[in-house]
Amino acid sequence: MSEDAAVEFEARSHPAFLFDLDGTLIDSVYQHVIAWREALQEVGINLSVWKIHRRIGMSGGLFVSALARELETPLDRDTLAALPALHGDAFLRHYDGVRPLPGARELLTTLTELGVPWAIATSGAERYARRGVELLGLPPDTPLITRDQVRYAKPDPDLFLAAAELIGVDIRDSMVVGDSVWDLLAARRARALGIGLLSGGYGREELIYSGAYRVYEDPRDLLAHIDEVGVRRPL
Amino acid sequence: MSEDAAVEFEARSHPAFLFDLDGTLIDSVYQHVIAWREALQEVGINLSVWKIHRRIGMSGGLFVSALARELETPLDRDTLAALPALHGDAFLRHYDGVRPLPGARELLTTLTELGVPWAIATSGAERYARRGVELLGLPPDTPLITRDQVRYAKPDPDLFLAAAELIGVDIRDSMVVGDSVWDLLAARRARALGIGLLSGGYGREELIYSGAYRVYEDPRDLLAHIDEVGVRRPL
């Protein structure tokens, strides 16, 4: 094996991990869903809650496009402009119920101890993401890419590409861990491997059909099977 | 064809419909999920929200058994006894957001106009079910079987068997329409055909793997394809 090939082989056998936040590390998807339902209702829009659920985690712009398509009516500019703040207020009303997902802290700590690089990349705004990082008991210098830092959010690959760059790893040596179809589609666009978690409330097959390389229940379940996705733990 | 065979053929080609309520006719699943999350939190139990979601619609007794299994710790009798009332209070706090699902009223009205027998069968208590019936604009004499009227709720078949008996149809000539795995498992136990709706937030494949004969988005989508499940509309 040439030296270059050996270096590449070494990297591919020690992947980095790029984590989504909501539904992947913290248990906040259902609060986001209910908050969107309330925000939409405040502007007189009645959209079925399951359809909101299936759009959580995608970019706000695409969310609004999808919404307009579902409603089959154009939405006026003022209504659209008011929605993010209404959702934000409603989400904060429900934030008391948000908790870290089982095993999230242990998974991140274990990766750090093993010297495996990792970062968080979220379609959420920085002000919510910072709260999530605190909830997980992570230090303020945790590698974090938020919606504000890229042009396009998921299912575009930008968030994960920026996260890989931030921690100095090749996206092609990275595993993207997420709970939604949008994470997994973004992973494929980025040429990373996607790992699906059921903890955001999607069905297992929805994640597999979106290209998940592997699906686990939640961070605890992923940690218990971490050797399946290329991380060797000392015996 | 003998007369008996002809009568049986006639019945099988004009099925009756037995509907679940929450997530099938009214958009209340996510409010139930958040209400259970709040009730559990009030007694100090921290269970991931997606796991609550996947248990909605099953019998309360089985819900509690599943909960105890997830927590891997026994729950004391007082805690268990307090939970239903805490959930009920929390659900009423969130009830303002509950709406009929798209097409629910139109579907039931159309079946009535076509002379197709139908009934509602829910794992919920009568006091909540009555509110749902009102929300749908249905008369008080709407055929309705609730948790209080049977020994075992879903995924046992009792609710659907009782509903078929109430409207005088053979369960084997009936289609059970539900949003959850528990509806579809109960349908198979009862030897009815199950029709899955995505409007409760399960994935399509979860419903197919539980034995759905057909899966639609919501009541409106079922109504648009009603000829696929044995109902002929006059041209």
Per-residue pLDDT reduced to its tens digit, A177-186: 999 999 999 9
ipTM of the complex: 0.91
Per-residue tens of pLDDT for chain B, all 235 residues? 566 666 665 555 679 999 999 999 999 999 999 999 999 999 988 899 999 999 998 888 888 888 888 887 777 888 888 888 899 999 999 898 899 999 999 999 999 999 999 999 999 989 899 999 999 999 999 999 999 999 999 999 999 999 999 999 999 999 999 999 999 999 999 999 999 999 999 999 999 999 999 999 999 999 999 999 999 888 7
pTM above 0.95, yes or no: no
Q: Does A204 touch chain B (CB under 8 A)?
A: yes
Q: Does A49 touch chain B (CB under 8 A)?
A: yes
Spatial separation of the C-alpha atoms in residues A31 and A35, rounded to whole Å: 6
Higher pLDDT, A213 or A57: A213
Q: Which residue has the tokens 């969107």?
A: A36
Spatial separation of the C-alpha atoms in residues A134 and B46, rounded to whole Å: 19
Residue B205 with chain A: CB contacts under 8 Å: 203-206, 209
Chain A nearest-CA distance from B182, in A, is 15
Q: Does B93 touch chain A (CB under 8 A)?
A: no
A188-195 contacts at long range (C-beta below 8 A, 24 or more positions apart): A189/A155, A189/A156, A189/A157, A190/A157, A190/A160, A190/A161, A190/A164, A192/A18, A192/A160, A192/A164, A193/A15, A193/A229, A195/A222, A195/A229
pLDDT in the model for residue B6: 63
Determine phi and psi for B199, rounding to 5 degrees.
-70, -5
Query: Which amino acid, A125?
Result: A
Residue B218 with chain A: CB contacts under 8 Å: 48
Q: Does B32 touch chain A (CB under 8 A)?
A: no
Query: Which amino acid, A11?
Result: A
CB contact under 8 A, B48 and A218: yes
Spatial separation of the C-alpha atoms in residues A25 and B200, rounded to whole Å: 24
pLDDT in the model for residue B28: 97
What radius of gyration do chain A's Cα atoms show? 18
Chain B nearest-CA distance from A48, in A, is 7
Angle at B118 between CA B126 and CA B197, to 5 degrees: 80
pLDDT in the model for residue A12: 57
CB contact under 8 A, A205 and B201: no
Mean pLDDT of A164-170: 98
The tokens describing A50, both together, are 């399951």
Select from B97, B201, B209 the Cβ nearest to the Cβ of A201: B201
Q: Does A40 touch chain B (CB under 8 A)?
A: no
**Residues in contact with B206: Cβ distance below 8 Å, sequence separation at least 6, in sequence order:** A203, A204, A205, B181
Return the bridge partners of A2, or none. none
Q: Does B105 touch chain A (CB under 8 A)?
A: no
For B107-125, the DSSP string reads HHHHHHHTT--EEEE-SS-
Q: How many CB pairs under 8 A join A and B?
A: 79
Q: Closest-CA residue in chain B for A199?
A: B50
Determine phi and psi for A74, rounding to 5 degrees.
-70, 145
Mean pLDDT of A142-153: 96
What pLDDT band is residue A9 in, cutting at 50, 70 and 90?
low
End-to-end CA distance of chain A: 28
